[in-house]
């Protein structure tokens, strides 16, 4: 009687099996979802490297050239101002 009653009322083995099944399915689906997400991110990074990086490098080179020219002009102006100050001090 105790064994029959135990089998009828004790649901732990069935629940444990269901929980293991659920966890296994969840982890498997989650793993697939994460794999797809990582593949998508990898593809986006590769596209960015192929398309955006060269244009950004070109833009940066152009901007650096412009900055260099401006700095050279500013340096030349400063040298002229210093030269005038030296001439004024000598007179």
**Torsion angle (degrees, nearest 10) of CA 5, 7, 9, 11:** 170
**Where do we find the tokens 């593809």?**
43
pLDDT of 9 > 80? The answer is: no
> Residue 81's pLDDT is what?
97
**Is the pTM here over 0.75, yes or no?**
no
Q: How many other C-beta atoms can be found within 10 angstroms of the C-beta atom of residue 21?
A: 10
What mean pLDDT is predicted for residues 18-42? Answer: 87
């Amino acid at each position: 009687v105790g064994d029959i009653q135990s089998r009828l009322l004790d649901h732990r083995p069935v629940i444990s099996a269901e929980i293991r099944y659920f966890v296994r399915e969840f982890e498997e689906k989650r793993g697939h979802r994460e794999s797809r997400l990582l593949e998508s991110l990898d593809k986006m990074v590769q596209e960015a490297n192929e398309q955006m990086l060269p244009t950004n490098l070109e833009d940066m080179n152009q901007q650096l050239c412009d900055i260099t020219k401006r700095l050279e002009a500013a340096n030349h102006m400063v040298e002229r101002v210093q030269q005038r100050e030296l001439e004024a001090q000598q007179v």
